[in-house]
Amino acid sequence: MKRLHMRAFGKPSTAPELIESETPEPGAGQVLVALEAAPINPSDLLLIRGLYGHRPALPATLGTEGVGRIVAVGPAVDPVRIGERVLIIPTLKHATWQDQIAIDEDDAIVVDPAADVLQLAMLGVNPLTADLLLRRFVDVPSGGWVGQTGGNSAVGRSVITLAKQAGYRTLNVVRRPEVAAELLELGADAVVVSGPNLGEQLKKALGDERISLLLDATAGDVVAELAPWLLHGGTLVSYGGMSGAPVVVRPGDLIFRDLHVRGFWQKGWLDTAPREEFTAAYARLAALVADGTLRVPIAATYPLEKYQDALVHATQADRVGKVLFAW
């Protein structure tokens, strides 16, 4: 079987290599999953560069999340599980950019076999991140505003959908004005474009209202422009740094308005949350994927053999939608 791994950290376009290896045998309490689809996330690209919060021992097989079918089981696992379509929990214990993988039975969550396999493959990281960002930090009142940078990202789109379901309004900052209409159709209440007139756009969108929760995927100076629109004592949650710049908040906003700045890493939550809590969350979100409520655009799919093209595509700043490996 084939798998993507790297011997050294480096550029996503050059560090990974495709190798042949023996098909693993599931051990006691394990299942063997034949992958059907696995996305390329920004966190995967950071990991390849050696800039992520998790640095695997090298050489390392790559890929964080994915979905596939159980094709064999190890001792102490009920053979009835063979044939199930399962989500691989993205704990970073299991690398998904390979044809088949042996994982602990408990790390394979059953999902709807009739649902869109590509959308299911993206369930592990982005929708759960959006769900946790909305639920864990602030009790947003009904009709309250949630602001976010990276509004057109996969997490941002899930935030829009889940916030709408919860009765919140979303203010979404994007880089390109042409995506505004699509996000409004998705359910966004306001879309503003980062740039020199962002302040005027915010005033027009919010008037005298204020944001209860600000979710930041990009960092940089745009955060300083949004922070004054938070409620007194409001919370900013940083979960990404796509700009490569620091999170900027003026001292006056922190000191005189008691703003709270928090960080969030999904892996940290998965490592500590009770199993029944995250399996229930995945079940709830998987149902939304199955009925078409939760969807994100797909830019392209590639076979594993075309990994260099896939990784180059995934690094393009003007890309619209997610890039996935598909079997």
User: What positions carry a catalytic annotation?
Assistant: 52
Contact, 172 vs 188, CB < 8 A?
Answer: yes
Instruction: Return d(Cα 140, Cα 144) in angstroms, integer.
Output: 6
Contact, 85 vs 71, CB < 8 A?
Answer: no
Q: Which residues of 282-319 are buried (b: 16+ CB within 10 A; e: fewer)?
A: beebbebbbeeebbbebeebbebeebeebbeebeeeee
Instruction: Return d(Cα 30, Cα 90) in angstroms, integer.
Output: 16
